[in-house]
Amino acid sequence: MPLDPQFRSVIDQATAAGALPLVQATAQETRSHYRSLAVSRRGADFVPEPVAKVVDDAVDGPAGPVPVRVYTPTDDRGRVITYLHGGGWVVGDLDTHDPVCRRVANAVGATVVAVDYRLAPEHPYPAPLDDAMAALAWTADRYPGLPHVVAGDSAGASLAAGAALRARDGNGPALAAQLLVYPATDPSMSTPSMRDNGEGYFLTRADMAWFYDQYLPDRARRGEPHVDLLHAPDLAGLPPAVVATAEFDPLRDEGDAYAQRLRAAGVAVRHVPGPGLIHGYFAFLGVVAEADARSREVLAALDDLLP
C-alpha cells in the first residue's frame, strides 16, 4: 500500500515545522523535543480516554524507586499488563504514553501498570531491563492469580521481549502473553526495511543508530540475547505473542522476522502487519483513522489470546 495519506500529511507538516528529525543534539534536548511532539500530536481538542481509576505508585527497583502508573479499566475482566513505553531507551515517560495505556486498559479489560524505567545514556543496558523485571515482579505480587502480560512499543517492546526471556529462564513471574508493538530486535540494523524506510518516515536509521549508541555504548554487549533478540539461540517456551509491525517502519523486517522465529520455536503468535502505517502509529490514536483501527485490531488479537 502507499503511505497512509493522513500520515503523509503528519510527516510533511512536522518536517515543515522543523520537528524532525526526532533526535536533537543531546539526550536532554531530545527528551524535551519528544515530549513536545507527544503533546502536540494529540490535537487541540484532545480529551483523555476515560478509565475507572489512575493511581501513581512506585516499585522497589534495583537502584531505588521506579515510578509506575496504574490504570484500572472501565470494564475489568481480570487481567493485568506490565507496560513498557517506547522512545529508544532514551526518551518517553508515563505522560507521553498515557493515551496508549488508557486504550490498552479498556480494550483488553486489564489493569495496566505503566513503568517509568531508568533511561540511557545515564542508565545504559541492562538498567532499563532490570527495572522492567522489578516492575514485573511487583505487578505479579500485587495482582496474584491474574493472567499477566508483558507489553511495550518500540524500545519498550524490545524490553518486553527481553523480560519474557528472563522470566522464562526463572528470573521472573509466569506470563500469559507478550504484546510487542513494532519491536527493535536486531541491533545490527541490517534488514532491507532499515535501508528502504530509513529516511522520510518519522523514525530514521540515523535515529536508531544514535539510540543504540546511548543504550549500548559497549558494543560487545549488543550480541547478548536480551538485546539481539532476533538471533537469540533459544525462543522455545516463551509465552504466546502478539507482534505488530508497520509497513513504512525501519524496524518492520526485524519485527516480522522475530514473529517468524517465535512461531518456528513453537510459540503461538498473532502477527498483525500495518499496511500504510509508520513507526509509532500507536501514539496517533484519535488522530489518524487507520492507526486507530489497527491499534484496535492488535489489542483484539491480544484479547483473544487471554482467558
Average pLDDT over residues 100-105: 98
pLDDT at 2 over 90: yes
- Output 131 or 39, whichever has higher pLDDT: 131
pLDDT value for 143: 98
Instruction: With cut-offs at 50, 70 and 90, classify the pLDDT of residue 200.
Output: very high
User: Using one digit for the tens of pLDDT, what is the confidence trace for 3-26?
Assistant: 999 999 999 999 999 999 999 999
Pick the CATH number of 5-305 from 3.40.50.300, 3.40.50.2300, 2.30.330.10, 3.40.50.1820: 3.40.50.1820
pLDDT at 247 over 90: yes
Active-site entry in 154, 158, 193, 295: 154
pLDDT value for 43: 67
pLDDT at 228 over 80: yes
Longest dimension (CA), the chain: 51
- 85 counts as catalytic: no
Strand stretches in 10-147, DSSP E:
53-61, 64-72, 79-84, 110-115
pLDDT value for 158: 98
Instruction: With cut-offs at 50, 70 and 90, classify the pLDDT of residue 254.
Output: very high
Instruction: With cut-offs at 50, 70 and 90, classify the pLDDT of residue 45.
Output: confident
pLDDT value for 41: 75
User: Using one digit for the tens of pLDDT, what is the confidence trace for 156-176?
Assistant: 999 999 999 999 999 999 999
Whether the CB-CB separation of 227 and 162 falls below 8 Å is answered with yes
Domain residue ranges of the chain, discontinuous segments joined by + = 5-305
Q: Residue 55 class from Cβ within 10 Å (0-12 exposed, 13-18 middle, 19+ buried)?
A: exposed
Active-site entry in 33, 123, 226, 279: 279
pLDDT at 42 over 90: no
| Mean of pLDDT over the chain | 97
- 32 counts as catalytic: no
User: Using one digit for the tens of pLDDT, what is the confidence trace for 272-292?
Assistant: 999 999 999 999 988 899 999
- 218 counts as catalytic: no
Active-site entry in 130, 186, 249, 253: 249
What is the DSSP-derived secondary structure letter of residue 220? Answer: G
Tell me the three state secondary structure of residue 246. coil
pLDDT at 116 over 80: yes
Whether the CB-CB separation of 216 and 222 falls below 8 Å is answered with yes
Specify the pTM. 0.98
